[in-house]
A and B are shown apart, each in its own frame.
Chain A
Amino acid sequence: MTGNVWALIGAAVAALAGVGSAMGVGIAGQAAAGVVGEDPKKFGRTLILQALPGTQGIYGLIVTFLIFIRIGLLGGGGMKDLTMAQGLYVFACSLPICIVGIWSGIAQGKAAAAGIMLLGKREDQMGKGIIYAAMVETYAIFALLVSLLMLFNLGF
């Protein structure tokens, strides 16, 4: 295997953060459907809460695209030749957002679902439900930050 293969595996692994988002958004969606069943007017508000666990997938996508740009996959210039060490370095960059993204997405989905329940019972308390879900997101943001800082400071 050359370094290029490892870099591409890294790009793919970063995109896996979407798994967490998909599950999280799914969990929140189930709760939202229950609440909207009782009061259809709450659709728009539940949608906001349901969207919250969706960000991990986006963070994963960001890292994937940045890896693409970094290794020259996008832009028509052709892929750079990477050594084994460089390829593994790129791969390492993808790990934080992938692993934290998956688990935090699921956990945030659960928190968002609880927030949606809260919205169902006390409409005026929606803001607090959003904040609870956002507490989880902090760790996905940190993981993104670590991935980004690693990638930006690669030095090749």
Chain B
Amino acid sequence: MFKFFKITCDEATTICDKSQYGEASVYERMQLSWHLLVCKICILYSKQNRKISDILKLKSDDCKKNNPCFSKKEKEDLKEQLNNFN
């Protein structure tokens, strides 16, 4: 019956990436954990994947804090261009 769970490393790592966003299905998670029992390399991959996710999380928080916008000067320029266009 285990052949239902048998997947390649490529599929396993895709599921692993998906589960980083909490969007892998139950079936996929079962497939993945079965694969992780037999594949050391993918265990390492998923460990490191988690670390990368942590770093990306930091980056994402960082991005939300500073949102670059139009400066005053740019807005004035834009207004002038629009006026000329009319």
A and B are interacting partners = no
- Interface set of A (CB-CB < 8 Å, partner B): none
- Interface set of B (CB-CB < 8 Å, partner A): none
